[in-house]
Structure 1
């Protein structure tokens, strides 16, 4: 699958950037080091000035690519969910058994993420940690409805919708497919957060059991 992913170009909503960072070395450097810096100091403390110091570039050069750090976080989130969607597509293609297909999808969205070496300027493992900690900050805002209309969350919703379809294939009569699918995706991020900060209230701290938990849950719920 990694070889297939290497041949794919991940596209992000063009309204999230001023200039596409994938088109220049500086743009890729901005993406690479913004991931590292946000992970290091957190999104609240992150500024373009600090990023500029890290990459030895003027703060103004970063604004040529992103108009705000909020748009940058939206860009990183959209890139991440696009990457997850590609992984979902490859993990479930040519599988006829609905429960096997859904199980494979659950593994993709719940497993611990490792870096994909085919994307040299993006460390997916660290980006995943940012998504776990910071993703809700992209939409828990007053502007969420307007940004949703602009399509900023389309890829994230597409990931959830893929899982909704798979749930309905397993059990067309199940009435809560949307709620179950979104709960799996969001719940996975929350459980990984608990593993890092509240280990006493999740079994994930004891073993890498999250895919097994959700697969057990969907089988008992849908079958």
Structure 2
């Protein structure tokens, strides 16, 4: 899988950016430094002016790649979901048993992130933290319906769709496969957030992982249907 991932290019909707940041060293520096800065100061405090200072370039040069910081956040989160999707596909492609395939998929989606050397300018660990803390800000906007029509969230939706299909392969009679799938993806982010910030609101801790909880949740739901 690692060799395959080295040749992977995460394809982002071209409407999200003005110029592909992967096409130049400056673009890659914009991505690299924006991840570090957003993780450090939060999305609200992050500005293109501050980013320009960090990369040693004019603020105007950043606008040649992204229309605004909202589009930059959409790019970063889309890249993350695309990267996660590739991992899921490669890790589950050779698994024939539906239950084992679904269990492996849940693990990929919910586990703690490890840095991937395939993309030297992107710190996946910090990007994961940004997705956990900031992803909802990319879609909790008045423009979400229009942006959805433009395909800004297609990678995220495709990832949820893949898990939905795996759930249906395990239990074709389960009535809520899409809801359960989106619960796994969103629930993973939420449980990691609670574990870090509101520990009294989750049973996840140093001994119980979000992977264990969400695997239990999914298979109990499907088993309940099977036994009904």
TM-score of the aligned structures, taking structure 2 as reference length:
0.96
Question: CA–CA distance in 1 between the matches of 2:70 and 2:94?
Answer: 38
For residues 7-30 of structure 1, what are the alpha-carbon distances to aligned partners after superposition, in whole Å with 9 as ceiling and x for unaligned? 111110000111100000000000
Please name the residue that 2:134 is paired with. 134
Please name the residue that 1:37 is paired with. 37
Question: CA–CA distance in 2 between the matches of 1:50 and 1:82?
Answer: 27
Deviation at 1:218, TM superposition (A): 1.7
1:166 aligns with 2:166: yes
Q: Which runs of structure 1 show a deviation greater than 3 angstroms over 4 or more consecutive aligned residues?
A: none
Question: CA–CA distance in 2 between the matches of 1:207 and 1:91?
Answer: 25
Please name the residue that 1:220 is paired with. 220
Unaligned ranges ≥5, structure 1: none
Unaligned ranges ≥5, structure 2: 224-228
1:78 aligns with 2:78: yes
Change over 3 Å in CA distance of 1:25–1:208 after alignment to 2: farther
Deviation at 1:208, TM superposition (A): 4.8
Question: CA–CA distance in 2 between the matches of 1:121 and 1:201?
Answer: 35
Query: Secondary structure at the residue paired with 2:15?
Result: helix
For residues 97-134 of structure 1, what are the alpha-carbon distances to aligned partners after superposition, in whole Å with 9 as ceiling and x for unaligned? 10100000000110000110110000001000000000
Please name the residue that 2:99 is paired with. 99
RMSD (CA atoms): 0.9
